[in-house]
Chain A
Amino acid sequence: AAGVIQSPRHLIKEKRETATLKCYPIPRHDTVYWYQQGPGQDPQFLISFYEKMQSDKGSIPDRFSAQQFSDYHSELNMSSLELGDSALYFCASSPGTDLNEQFFGPGTRLTVL
Chain B
Amino acid sequence: QKEVEQNSGPLSVPEGAIASLNCTYSDRGSQSFFWYRQYSGKSPELIMSIYSNGDKEDGRFTAQLNKASQYVSLLIRDSQPSDSATYLCAVDGGSQGNLIFGKGTKLSVKP
Residues of A near any B CB (own CB < 8 A) = 31, 33, 35, 41-45, 48, 50, 55-56, 58, 88, 90, 94, 97, 99-107
Residue in A35, A45, A55, A58 with the greatest tally of chain B CB atoms within 10 Å? A45
Q: How far is the CB of A40 from chain B (nearest CB, A)?
A: 9
Give the residue of A88, A90, A103 whose beta carbon is less than 8 angstroms from that of B46.
A103
Q: How far is the CB of A54 from chain B (nearest CB, A)?
A: 9
B101 touches A43 (CB 8 A): yes
How many Å lie between the Cα of A97 and that of B98 in the bound state? Answer: 9
A100 touches B32 (CB 8 A): yes
* Given A42-B88, A99-B49, A105 and B98 contact (CB-CB distance below 8 Å): no
Q: How far is the CB of B104 from chain A (nearest CB, A)?
A: 6
How many Å lie between the Cα of A44 and that of B92 in the bound state? Answer: 13
**18 A-B pairs, CB-CB below 8 angstroms?**
A31-B97, A33-B97, A35-B99, A42-B103, A43-B101, A48-B96, A48-B98, A55-B96, A56-B97, A58-B93, A88-B43, A99-B51, A100-B99, A101-B46, A101-B49, A102-B97, A103-B46, A104-B45
Q: Which residues of chain B are near A97, meaning CB under 8 Å?
A: 95-97
Q: Which residues of chain A are near B96, meaning CB under 8 Å?
A: 48, 50, 55-56, 97
A42 touches B97 (CB 8 A): no
How many Å lie between the Cα of A90 and that of B42 in the bound state? Answer: 10
A45 touches B98 (CB 8 A): yes
Q: How far is the CB of B37 from chain A (nearest CB, A)?
A: 11
Nearest 3 pairs of A and B residues by beta carbon: A56-B96, A97-B97, A42-B101
- Is B25's beta carbon under 8 Å from chain A? no
Q: Which residues of chain A are near B93, meaning CB under 8 Å?
A: 45, 58
Q: A45-B99, A56-B98 are in contact. List 7 more A-B contacts (CB 8 A).
A: A33-B99, A42-B102, A50-B96, A56-B94, A88-B43, A104-B36, A107-B42
